[in-house]
Structure 1
């Protein structure tokens, strides 16, 4: 009987462990239309072969990650490394701000809450990086430069600030103002992108968008729901950046081990592109050998002078996190994978592109190592809205002409798919060697820097004539706004019942104003209402804020 009880207990433990293991991974069903994507549609298509000089099997890790480039990224037998991004210093060296904990820690990988942040340095962008300084305690670091020129290293729960990458760092806290909005999944795993006026847009783990005037002053939340894809994902690790065309974001579904790619004109309103942004299997050498890491997390990008992402850095681990024990053969590190940055494109036509446009002229700029007049397979090129070219459609080439070292490509307008909502048409094609090429372009007639008006929750009070509604509106855009209108109401039986309305006067960048409006209607005491505040520019809805609240207590 005791033997049977032991067997049952053992089977129960094994079942629990099995359930735990499988709870760390699930297979996500891909949309069927993704099967029709052409090469270059997915962000994942931009990963290039890894670089390194020291290929070794004499190191830690499961067999699937050996041999590997041990001089790529950062690794050693002392620390388990995680997260981190790179900044080039005035000293000409590359500084990777990465976190780590002792590999021999009793909790193994689960020691991560007690991470230290390192300044690791290399002469090469891909590594090897060596730690030269411990900044302090912290996890999931991301470095950026504030408007005043100081360096900021974000960590979960705080940040370090210094005048010098190699100097002393002072710990402090960010200030956050949710502005009556719910904070989605807490304020952790933050990522930051500098806007054109050196202000900052930030995305938190839950997918909320925040803005600070200088990167260190108060961050204000603009969204009341996540901007991520509307799918059943367990999202974390968002990374955001801006190039000379648009804003980019990638967010990881850690459970499904699949990431999604988003784009934006202003960093606030986002569209989701189809296909995987990344997934296991992207760490490949030039000869086709793969470093088959179990998980890729904490993606960060290194950008060139145009803001284009030219390298991805990942935290990787060779097994399930809970299986990484002290003094074992498992660990984690940071790896570097080069990225195809895309071509530099300029649309030469000034008139709006529509379905009736006859031709579209695009300049393809020459760069070091790229000669558009000789390197491209011209007949493979397709140009137009992403929704078209990502699926192999779009406008075809009519003719080309040389302009200095550049190439001007004239596309027929038919099939371009560009609508009034488009802000970054895309080019997809191939080089003559058969490899993929792509690029985005700005539309010359689009305003890329616009006012961003955002309201807080309305506050109602009684007066002799009915209701008084006070509502704060702020311009988080980088340019002044024009006169706008605002309507306040609540949802009832699927309809919006208007309570108050008024005019929002022009506001300078970051200026705010509290409007006092006359209201009508009666709110029941103790009843919860879904309030709606909508701001219009003419008839265009430019901002809507929903909040469920008991108006009268």
Structure 2
């Protein structure tokens, strides 16, 4: 009884402490900016600017204090091996207004300073011998091989210049390659649906491109629409879209007018700062893997918070603040750059007393790291103590060296599994199973999130199983950290496991299983945008009731591996929890006749239309559209006819869209496309 009283008392004290802590103002990134150190005395005379930005330190960052020559924008900082700081940015002559300067006269430029906060000396154009030096959205970085790289977008399609020396000369390496991976292509490059791009003549251009080096050796791009893209093949790509817009559906964030994102890695996580240009605010998001599960961490900037404050209390109130970039050293944030202008952009005219500069603001990265890590650790502890929602159940199967754990993060609908176990490839299994007891014909689907956040080996995937005994028959579709995808099967109780299919791929990936009778069809997809590939159709003998779920193991390690499953669902086949789920395999080749036979599997709550289109990649010629109404779930055999013979020397985009009945194809639920060849 004494022990019970002691436990209750601790609980009461903890509750009181938590209540007191909750009354304290919650800090966000904006609270960790430090006062601007004076690089020179603050001045009001002999310089430009509206009264609200005076007096100011004209030696901070990059500016033309006399405004005789240049307006500056963009700007990111790279430190060289000798300890000098290089800011790469864009500039245009004061003889142009802001609205004309940034898109008509903007040039990529290079500057240098002995100090992080400036002053930065303008050393001229960065690539004067290419395209008349044209450049905007300019950023700099060190590549994985140590070379210096400059990124140029918005006024050009999106390109990279490289040099062994931070001062150049910079030579053009080439244009970025983008793989939409089934997502909307306009999230990468502007397309004809973007009115602004059509008006400006920049269809096909990337905008607001930010590139960072990931700790896993890959390159990561975030452009205007804030869609994470990853390249496994160097800085030019192809960059594969792996998710939707990072801010989409995130609690507390505006869902429109979001632009100018920047991305960085620090504090053992990925960060994005993205502008809401509807209210001159910048928001902070974080993610464990830089692809999924972004969370809102509050403000980076707001025009009411006096971010540009000097040590003596003087505040520079810049009218427009955009294009944040981050200077990180030893994985700790040291400073932020902001592009600032003293008046509304439209009121900055040619040869007036208004202009723009790049300002550098110091940041308390050490305190911020402690703060954000505490928040994330508390969230993870809470999630790991929260069971997966009903009807999910969880247990260790077989003999494991360390007990597993199943948690749930409701904010991002993610099941978190810490699992020990064996390789699930012999006669007895050992793993962590998160499952549902089911019967009849069923379908299951899940997004296996990146394994990069697991310190130890981990295999994670979907498993259908006849019982919870450790030698039961099963089919297992899984992604193994570092070794790829495998589809395995145990035919009979107590027998060894056979491998049906292997692929080189890494999480994140979507997995799907459909059981119909005694056949189980297994599919994989990199984006859940119709581009599903069937990797096996296997026969299995199951009991009337059996088990479907998420199987995780650390492959014989005594330590637990960490797996995460997003949007896991199991439902009776034909009765999905979301509308318009389609499985199919794209054809790799099309006959010269333009006639293609293929099959789709539709699961839908309501009637949907399937649209099939074909377009010549080289000439952009579009062919006939097939429209098929699917009144209910099931398999549909389709025949597409282009209506004319196809050129055997050309390649074609094969496009499929799922569109709600009576809607236009631009309002599709899902869409995907693939480049195909004429047979």
Instruction: Check whether TM > 0.5.
Output: yes
SS of the aligned residue for 2:298 comes to coil
Other-structure match for 2:53: 65
Structure 1 pair 293–197 and aligned structure 2 pair: CA distance change class (3 A): same
**TM-fit CA distance, 1:518:** 9.9
Of residues 100, 114, 120, the one that matches 1:110 is 100
**Counterparts of 1:336 and 1:252, CA distance in 2:** 17
Match of 1:129 among 120, 123, 145: 120
Q: Counterparts of 2:180 and 2:375 in 1: how far apart (Å)?
A: 43
Deviation of 1:51 after TM superposition, in Å, equals 1.5
> Counterparts of 2:241 and 2:376 in 1: how far apart (Å)?
34
> 2:445 is matched with which residue?
none
Counterpart in the other structure of 1:359: none
Cα RMSD after superposing both structures: 4.6
Equivalent position of 1:285 in the other structure: 310
- Tell me, in whole angstroms, the C-alpha distance in 1 between the residues paired with 2:84 and 2:359: 17
Structure 2: segments with no counterpart, 5+ residues: 1-21, 128-133, 190-205, 383-409, 418-451, 459-480, 483-505, 513-520, 525-530, 536-553, 556-560, 586-597, 602-633, 641-654, 660-667, 675-679
Pairing partner for 1:223 from 230, 233, 242: 242
Query: Is contact 1:456–1:472 with CA below 8 Å preserved after alignment?
Result: no
| Alignment match, 1:207 | 226
Aligned CA distance change for structure 1 residues 54 and 179 (closer, same or farther; 3 Å): same
CA distance in 2, matches of 1:344, 1:207: 23
Q: Which of structures 1 and 2 has the bigger CA Rg?
A: 2
Counterpart Cα distance in 2 of 1:383 and 1:317: 35
The offset of 1:121, in angstroms, is: 0.6
Query: How far did 1:197 drift?
Result: 2.9
Indicate the residue corresponding to 1:340 in structure 2.
364
Partner of residue 42 from structure 1, selected from 28, 38, 43:
28
TM-fit CA distance, 1:308? 1.6
Deviation at 1:63, TM superposition (A): 0.2
- Cα contact 2:180–2:240 (8 A) shared by 1: yes
Structure-1 residue corresponding to 2:658: 530
| Structure 1 residue ranges without an equivalent (≥5) | 1-35, 347-361, 365-380, 390-416, 424-441, 458-465, 502-515, 532-544
Query: CA separation in 2, counterparts of 1:37 and 1:524?
Result: 61
CA deviation vs aligned residue, 1:149-184 (integer Å, no higher than 9, x gap)? 222111112221112111211123111221222134
Return the match for 1:149 from 136, 146, 149: 146
Aligned equivalents of 2:117, 2:355: Cα separation in 1: 20
Q: Take 1:118 and 1:90, find their aligned partners in 2: how far apart are those partners? A: 20
- Written as runs of structure 1 = structure 2, the 5 A alignment for 1:69-108 is 69-76=57-64, 77=67, 78-105=69-96, 107-108=97-98
Shift of 1:547: 2.5
- Asked if the contact 1:184/1:207 (under 8 Å) is kept, the reply is no
Q: Which shows bigger deviation, 307-316 or 268-277? A: 268-277
So what's the TM-score if we normalise by structure 2? 0.51
Q: Deviations over 1:445-491 (max 9, x none)?
A: 7889884244699xxxxxxxx9x9984599xxxx9999x9999x999
- Work out the CA distance in 2 between the residues paired with 1:290 and 1:138: 31
Tell me how far apart the structure 2 counterparts of residues 168 and 318 of structure 1 sit (CA, whole Å).
33
- Note if contact 1:530-1:549 (Cα within 8 Å) is conserved in structure 2: no
CA 1:43–1:252: 2 relative to 1, 3 Å: same
Does residue 1:328 correspond to 2:352, yes or no?
A: yes
- TM-score, scaled to structure 1: 0.62
Distance in 2 (CA, whole Å) between partners of 1:472 and 1:120 is: 50
Q: Which deviates the most, 187-196 or 227-236?
A: 227-236
**Alpha-carbon offset, residue 386 of structure 1:** 5.5
Contact 1:184–1:208 (CA under 8 A) maintained in structure 2 = no
Cα separation, 2, equivalents of 1:336 and 1:490: 57
Question: Which structure has more RCO (C-alpha within 8 Å, separation ≥ 6)?
Answer: 1
How far residue 530 of structure 1 moved from its aligned partner, in angstroms, is: 3.2
Give the distance between the partners of 1:82 and 1:473, measured in 2 at CA.
49
The match for 2:163 is: 162
Name the residue aligned to 1:51.
37
